[in-house]
Amino acid sequence: MNSFVIFLPITIMLVIILVIGALLTKMKIWRPKRTLSFSGIYFGLGIVALIGVVILSRDSGNIESDKVLREHIVENERINEQVSLRNVDAMNPAYLKYTKTFEPTSQDIEVKRHEDAFFTRIVLTWNNSTENKIVASYYETPLFMNRVNISDVVRPSHIELKGNELFVYDVKTQIKVNSVRPKLEIIDDFQNTAVHDDLSNLIGERILHLNVPRHFNIIDSSGWME
């Protein structure tokens, strides 16, 4: 079956090429001079299109340079390290997206994530206040996918308290993009170097910081909380 699936398109393509070739040799319109002028016009259009694409690529300045992306990767690593040490104060306040305050009624709070929400890191810090208040602050560093800044497109993680359960979930965003790659991807595939460009992967961090008084019990079933 598999070989037949390849067999059919190849045969059809070859037959199409043969038929076109045979037709063009029969047709008297395609004399050398006309072929020359036609291909000249076509190549001219190609050059015009190339210049157009180059100009438009300069116009759309949403693609970050390698240097900026590397800086962001270093910054994210630093933030990750600080978060592992529960040192949330080291975070840049510019990354703070929102702060929410919950006033739960029971002492036991269970943190539940939607199955897709594991990109968001949750950090717990304790405080000594006696109030029934949990402060959740959500940080997000600039997000890049394939060198394009997508921070404005995606929506931040959502937090909600229902009864004694704290829900964390992400809204999935679909991004559809067309791109021109004037090279042979097929060669890269055989060399196994295609997708391992770390700058075109997803770059960015999402951190949810929960500041909880000591008399609460936080239950985490996922084991991913810090």
Q: Which of 15, 68, 74, 85 binds other proteins (CB under 8 A)?
A: 15
- Rounded CA gap, 175 and 87, in Å? 34
Helical (H) or strand (E) element with 145: strand 144-145
| The 217-220 sheet, strands edge to edge | 158-162, 165-169, 108-113, 217-220
Please answer whether residues 108 and 176 qualify as being in contact, where contact means their C-beta atoms are separated by less than 8 angstroms.
no
- Rounded CA gap, 123 and 17, in Å? 62
Q: Which is nearer to other proteins, 63 or 85 (CB)?
A: 63
For residue 20, state whether it binds other proteins (rule: CB under 8 A).
yes
For residue 46, state whether it binds other proteins (rule: CB under 8 A).
yes
Residues 103-162 binding other proteins (CB under 8 A) are 116-120, 145-148, 150, 154-155, 157
For residue 1, state whether it binds other proteins (rule: CB under 8 A).
no
Tell me the three state secondary structure of residue 167.
strand
In whole angstroms, the minimum distance from the beta carbon of 172 to other proteins comes to 6
Please answer whether residues 123 and 209 qualify as being in contact, where contact means their C-beta atoms are separated by less than 8 angstroms.
yes
Candidates 32-40, 67-75, 97-105, 125-133: pick the segment binding other proteins (CB under 8 A): 32-40
Q: Are strands 108-113 and 165-169 parallel, antiparallel or unpaired?
A: parallel
Residues 159-188 binding other proteins (CB under 8 A) are 170-187
Tell me the three state secondary structure of residue 55.
helix
Q: Which of 89, 152, 190, 223 binds other proteins (CB under 8 A)?
A: 190
For residue 218, state whether it binds other proteins (rule: CB under 8 A).
no
For residue 223, state whether it binds other proteins (rule: CB under 8 A).
no
Residues 55-94 binding other proteins (CB under 8 A) are 56-57, 60, 63
Q: Which is nearer to other proteins, 194 or 219 (CB)?
A: 194
For residue 196, state whether it binds other proteins (rule: CB under 8 A).
no
Tell me the three state secondary structure of residue 219.
strand
Q: Which is nearer to other proteins, 140 or 211 (CB)?
A: 140
In whole angstroms, the minimum distance from the beta carbon of 153 to other proteins comes to 9
- Rounded CA gap, 166 and 112, in Å? 6
